[in-house]
């Protein structure tokens, strides 16, 4: 056996050596695997730490976002935000609302004032026609407020400034606001078809006054409103011992009031008494009547009366029809003036009227609500990449004012006459809140010192509101 071991010894030793080597190699491999595993575990640990940091950051951001939407006591912030030309803020229940409002109108007027007859030079000028800023909103569901100031012309003037209660079947309003006369006078200048309103509106003094009013407009087919005001404007009230009284009322009916189809009818009346004696005795409180040439704001006035009206009574009729993109609108107003006894029997009756037609080439229509026309909704607004053309509107108007009645009986009535104006307009609505306007106008004067004058002008406007 020993011999057999001796004979087989070398091969056995070799086998033992191979086995030992294998064991060593396995040990070394296992040791390498352990080192690799430990390295992988260290990498995983680092990754877990980074993931934990990211989770902690996300929790912190979520907590911050939650805190920003909570009040001081940790309750959710009751706030909704909508974009209506500018951010409009409101509570979720509608109890409170707030919005900043304003507008900018930049105008150019180029006017031939027929200097050979009128003696007034031509006009070529730009102006900031309107530059308004204000706020509007709702308090406790039923209380509406509005306050707006105009900074145009390097002076400050308060426009709308009122509080209105809507919790009754009728709405009650008090403050500084428009008297209830004339469709176009009551409409915002943001929505009228031409750059300026009809000439009789300025001539007959239809404007904002301080007072109170009651209105009903909950029914889509008719409205009624009436008010009592101080006659003196907000800017003039401090100048008089007695600012006079103005009564005004308006009723409208819309037998047809559908999308893109409207028939509007209306009528209004006003009686006013002139302000009393001025405090310093230097100001004549009586009424006067006048209109600008060519229906442009920078034109001079070529038909006008002296200050002679002690009181006056105005009545007016209005009508409009909308058939899709086509619209026709017109108004007639008559104002009977009572002069002081010193002027004898001079109680003239003045009148003004207009009729116009307009058409949207791009298919839009004039929206109507509560007895007025509202903001045009542009189908394809112009903005970067939109490919939209905006809304294009063409329009024409004939506007007349007659201040010639009994002119021979009124001392100093040298400018008492008639003015007839043709207007052609082109409007480009870039979007719901911005538009460019072009007016080409011509007036013919009849009677008074400017008899035979022809006033021709062009007006352009860049307009934005919010």
pLDDT level of residue 1 (50, 70, 90 thresholds): very low
Instruction: Find the range with the poorest average confidence among 313-322, 382-391, 411-420.
Output: 382-391
Q: Parallel, antiparallel, or unpaired for β 311-323 and 261-273?
A: antiparallel
Please give the structure tokens belonging to residue 438: 């072009």
pLDDT level of residue 23 (50, 70, 90 thresholds): very low
Q: Tens digits of per-residue pLDDT, 77-111?
A: 788 998 888 899 999 898 999 999 999 999 999 99
Q: Write down the pLDDT at residue 73.
A: 55
Instruction: Find the range with the poorest average confidence among 129-138, 217-226, 234-243, 408-417.
Output: 234-243
The pLDDT of 236-249, averaged and rounded, is 76
Contacts of residue 388, Cβ cutoff 8 Å, sequence gap at least 6: 378, 379, 380, 381, 382
pLDDT level of residue 302 (50, 70, 90 thresholds): very high
Reply yes or no on whether the pLDDT at 18 is more than 60: no
The pLDDT of 32-56, averaged and rounded, is 74
Reply yes or no on whether the pLDDT at 132 is more than 50: yes
Q: Write down the pLDDT at residue 34.
A: 65
Q: Answer yes or no: pTM beyond 0.95.
A: no
pLDDT level of residue 281 (50, 70, 90 thresholds): low
Q: Write down the pLDDT at residue 240.
A: 57
Reply yes or no on whether the pLDDT at 38 is more than 50: yes
Which is more confidently placed, 57 or 381? 381
Q: Write down the pLDDT at residue 7.
A: 43
Q: How many angstroms separate the CA atoms of 371 and 264, rounded?
A: 7
The pLDDT of 333-337, averaged and rounded, is 98
Q: Write down the pLDDT at residue 30.
A: 52
The pLDDT of 211-224, averaged and rounded, is 94
pLDDT level of residue 65 (50, 70, 90 thresholds): low
The pLDDT of 190-207, averaged and rounded, is 98
Which is more confidently placed, 313 or 7? 313
Please give the structure tokens belonging to residue 145: 């407020």
Give Cα separations from 448 to 112, 170, 203, 302, 436 (angstroms). Answer: 19, 47, 16, 9, 36
Q: Write down the pLDDT at residue 448.
A: 97
pLDDT level of residue 70 (50, 70, 90 thresholds): low
Which is more confidently placed, 457 or 232? 457
Instruction: Find the range with the poorest average confidence among 173-182, 217-226, 232-241.
Output: 232-241
Q: Write down the pLDDT at residue 297.
A: 98
Which overall architecture, per CATH, does domain 92-465 show?
Answer: Beta Barrel (2.40)
Alpha carbon 107 to chain centroid, angstroms = 17
Q: Write down the pLDDT at residue 35.
A: 73
| Mean of per-residue pLDDT scores for the chain | 88
Which is more confidently placed, 6 or 120? 120
Please give the structure tokens belonging to residue 334: 């008559």
- Nearest to residue 104, comparing CAs of 127, 121, 88, 83? 127
Q: Tens digits of per-residue pLDDT, 423-441?
A: 999 999 999 999 999 999 9
């Amino acid at each position: 056996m020993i011999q057999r071991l001796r004979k087989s010894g070398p091969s056995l030793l070799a086998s033992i050596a191979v086995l030992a080597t294998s064991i060593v190699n396995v040990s070394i491999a296992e040791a390498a695997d352990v080192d690799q595993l430990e390295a992988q575990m260290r990498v995983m640990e680092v990754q877990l730490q980074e993931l934990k940091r990211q989770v902690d950051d996300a929790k912190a951001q979520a907590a911050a976002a939650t805190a920003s939407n909570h009040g001081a006591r940790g309750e959710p912030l009751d706030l909704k935000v909508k974009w209506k030309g500018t951010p409009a803020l409101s509570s979720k229940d509608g109890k409170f609302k707030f919005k900043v409002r304003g507008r900018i109108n930049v105008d150019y007027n180029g006017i031939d004032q027929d200097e050979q007859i009128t003696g007034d030079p031509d006009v070529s000028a730009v102006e900031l026609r309107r530059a308004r800023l204000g706020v509007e909103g709702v308090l406790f569901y039923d209380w509406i407020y509005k306050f707006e100031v105009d900074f145009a012309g390097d002076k400050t003037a308060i426009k709308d400034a009122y509080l209105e209660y809507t919790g009754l079947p009728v709405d009650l309003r008090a403050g500084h606001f428009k008297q209830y006369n004339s469709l176009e006078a009551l409409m915002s200048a943001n929505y009228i078809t031409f750059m300026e309103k009809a000439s009789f509106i300025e001539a007959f003094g239809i404007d904002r006054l301080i007072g109170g009013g009651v209105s009903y407009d909950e029914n889509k087919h008719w409205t009624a409103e009436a008010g009592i005001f101080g006659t003196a404007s907000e800017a003039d009230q401090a100048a008089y011992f007695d600012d006079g009284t103005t009564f005004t009322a308006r009723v409208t009916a819309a037998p047809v009031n559908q999308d893109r189809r409207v028939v509007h009818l209306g009528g209004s009346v006003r009686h006013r008494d002139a302000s009393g004696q001025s405090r310093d005795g230097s100001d004549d409180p009586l009424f006067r009547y006048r209109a600008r040439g060519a229906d442009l704001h920078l034109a001079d006035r070529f038909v006008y009366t002296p200050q002679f009206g002690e009181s006056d009574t105005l009545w007016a009729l209005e009508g409009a029809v909308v058939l899709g993109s086509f619209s026709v609108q017109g108004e007639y107003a008559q104002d009977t003036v009572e002069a002081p006894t010193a002027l004898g029997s001079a109680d003239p009756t003045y009148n003004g009227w207009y009729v116009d037609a307009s058409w949207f080439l791009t298919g839009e229509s004039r929206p109507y609500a509560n007895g007025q026309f509202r903001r045009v909704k542009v189908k394809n607004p112009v903005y970067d990449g939109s490919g939209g053309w905006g809304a294009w509107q063409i329009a024409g108007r004939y506007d007349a004012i007659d201040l010639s009645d009994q002119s021979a009986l009124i001392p100093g009535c040298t400018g008492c006459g008639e003015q007839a104006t043709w207007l052609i307009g082109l409007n480009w609505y870039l979007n719901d809140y911005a538009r460019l306007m072009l007016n080409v106008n011509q007036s013919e004067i009849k009677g008074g010192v400017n008899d035979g004058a022809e006033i021709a002008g062009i007006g352009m406007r860049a307009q934005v509101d919010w």
